[in-house]
Structure 1
């Protein structure tokens, strides 16, 4: 186990301030690796666990540092801001349909929010990157830091999605990642509207009808969609590959991600949502997760994926 820890430290560039800190982290690493090994040896799930850059964190530490969704403090005010209706209500899908917006050029590379709980900015920006490419043909990496500094929708301790979308609609747009790079901490707003080089604009956002995976699929077939999921469990923390199942998580929403597609497993064993996360590429399937789709036992979807989806609207 010490050899595995040393190898893991080298792979992830992890260092500790002293021997005592290393010893504490080794104990956490050992407990997590034993969990991973037991789970994989059982072999009774559609997914596998693995080590990643979170393996020396307790689950409580992980949840505190890397999630970050907060519902709007004023839902009634947010309801006034969102656009009415659901524009994809009449979309017809077949059971064989699959969508992968990565293959259609509407998804930027996986990003890393670091230990700032800014998932709300990453998930909404990814959705705007998607609809901007779909409507203009240009894929541009947009600035999460602008939202973190300027939107008043949240900070490193979490934020809400409707406020982030509304900020992008009201502020004149969002600039590029290159012009306003991510720093992983909240600072003073340095965006000055059109003079700052707006790269993408939206007119507002709509909500997908909640607890309805068919409506979510209709929306995702047309553009990437922001969703909120329950992600703080230890199985989610160590997810490596395969289809993460509904019986592996609850519905206490705490993390915002982006659904960029859906499909069916090659062996026909079930369907999945394709989730883009913001924890870097060492987590999951190079930063992505396949999450069980069309859960018969719950209208909320696996990990609550269908409870609160929303998407940006362009004029």
Structure 2
């Protein structure tokens, strides 16, 4: 027993010596890999993700690691916003762009909207605002009950339809007092003959024009979302829950005009949402790296100013509640960040 005890202690000492001298050389990479593996498994569980093969899981794990490293490097800089491991964490930037960028910003909208020039051009936003306020510096249409809950377009590139529908839902509530969730799928299936191609991308102006020509838009309940292209269902489309009389385009690049419009109703806007930081945005005022490529459509539902004096836009996205701040985002205002004022329009009812 004594000989065995000596042998064991000798082995333990040797092991401790080896670990003490060699662990610093090999452990960091192994530890990082093990930590990332645990985080990947946690992320899969949190988002209900399963893969069809070990090979696919390994591929996604490698993408996940690269995304995680970038997220942590940005967050370490203590910017005014944070990034997170959201549901896009196993997608490369190219994959993300192909699946979720659906605004045809390369096609110019009509120069003249059906109801004439910008209706808020010569009236102060404060005078038009629907509720008096001591200062004209804040608007959040959610607080007024005119914004429907966050929706999820999934991997169908029809953000244009969600942006248009959100704006129509809001103006319907403002004008009639009726709150209803309207059908994006009807727009995906039925807006044809122009630029829009369902899940392959489209334009909010064409969505508005369809609603006008069709005499209204069906409810979500009557024409439910399928997250894929389909044939226009004339019977479902005949169920007209809400309608508009026209739409207007805001002068391109003019944030002051956009502010006047958003003071009175939520507005459909195009943005450059194709960047990594936009993809993984989590909270705070986004001031991140983006250009002016009109690749994604969202809805401007308000604006405000932080305690440190940073002006921001409040936007509603269509990537579900696990993206951003429960589906919403604050973007720096006053610098036309991501081209937010370049392609903005709103329905008239």
- Check the 8 A contact 2:106/2:294 in 1, yes or no: no
> Which residue of 69, 93, 109 maps to 2:149?
109
Deviations 1:218-272 (A, max 9, x none): 0000100000000111111111000111x5211111001100000111x233011
> SS at the partner of 1:156?
helix
Contact 1:72 1:163 in 2 (8 A): no
Partner in structure 2 of residue 254 of structure 1: 295
Change in CA separation of 1:151 and 1:67 when aligned onto 2, cut-off 3 Å:
same
Give the conservation status (yes or no) of the 8 Å contact 1:40–1:49. yes
Q: Distance in 2 between matches of 1:308 and 1:73?
A: 11
TM-score by length of structure 1 reads 0.93
Whether contact under 8 Å (1:274, 1:289) holds in the other structure is yes
The SS at the match of 1:35 is: helix
SS in structure 2 at match of 1:129? helix
Cα gap change, 1:84/1:211 in structure 2, threshold over 3 Å: closer, same or farther? same
Give 1:161 deviation, angstroms: 1.6
Alpha-carbon offset, residue 93 of structure 1: 4.0
Contact map agreement 1:260 1:276 (CA 8 A) in 2: yes
Choose from 195, 199, 207 the match for 2:241. 199
Distance 1:263 1:35 in 2: 29
How do 1:284-299 and structure 2 match up within 5 A? 284-295=324-335
The separation in 2 between residues aligned to 1:192 and 1:90, in whole angstroms, is 43
Tell me, in whole angstroms, the C-alpha distance in 2 between the residues paired with 1:72 and 1:4: 39
Give how far 1:274 is off.
0.5
* 8 A Cα contact 1:172 1:193, kept in partner: no
| Equivalent position to 1:29, from 64, 75, 80 | 64
Displacement of 1:190 after TM fit? 1.2
- Equivalents in 1 of 2:301, 2:342: separation in Å? 17
**Residue matched to 1:303:** 338
Are residues 1:48 and 2:105 paired? no
* Alpha-carbon distance between aligned partners in 1 of 2:149 and 2:113, rounded to the nearest angstrom: 30
Out of 114, 117, 125, the residue aligned to residue 85 of structure 1 is 117
Structural mapping, 1:74-153, within 5 Å: 75=109, 78-79=110-111, 82-93=114-125, 96-152=136-192, 153=196
What residue number does 2:55 align with?
20
- Aligned-partner Cα distance in 2 for 1:182–1:22: 29
For structure 2, the residue ranges without an aligned partner over 5 or more in a row are 1-35, 127-134
8 A contact 1:227–1:259 mirrored in 2: yes
| Partner Cα separation in structure 1 for residue 169 and residue 120 of structure 2 | 19
Select 1:187's aligned residue among 218, 230, 246.
230
Structure 1 stretches of 5 or more lacking a match? Answer: 296-300
Structure 1 vs Structure 2 CA RMSD: 1.6
Aligned to 1:237: 279
Assess if the C-alpha contact under 8 Å between 2:105 and 2:293 holds in 1: no
Q: 1:96/1:282 Cα in 2 relative to 1: closer, same or farther (>3 Å)?
A: same
CA offsets 1:198-221 (integer angstroms, 9 cap, x no match): 110001110011111110000000
Report which of the two structures shows the higher radius of gyration computed on alpha carbons. Answer: 2
Q: CA, structure 1 residues 72+189, in 2 after alignment: closer, same or farther (shift >3 Å)?
A: farther
Query: Aligned pair count?
Result: 303
Q: CA deviation at 1:189?
A: 1.0
Residue number in structure 2 paired with 1:298: none
Tell me which residue corresponds to 2:19: none
Shift of 1:294: 1.0
Bigger helix share: 2
Give the superposition deviation at 1:193: 7.9
Deviation of the 1:139 alpha carbon: 1.0
Offset, 1:3: 0.4
Equivalences for 1:194-233 in 2 at 5 Å? 196-233=238-275
Evaluate the alpha carbon distance shift between residue 56 and residue 72 of structure 1 in structure 2; reply closer, same or farther with a 3 A threshold: closer
**For 1:2, what is the secondary structure of its paired residue?**
helix
CA distance, structure 1, for counterparts of residue 61 and residue 148 of structure 2: 35
Q: How does the TM-score come out when normalised to structure 2?
A: 0.84
Alignment match, 1:69: 103
Alignment of 1:264 with 2:302, yes or no, is no
For residues 269 and 286 of structure 1, the distance between their equivalents in structure 2, rounded to whole angstroms, comes to 24
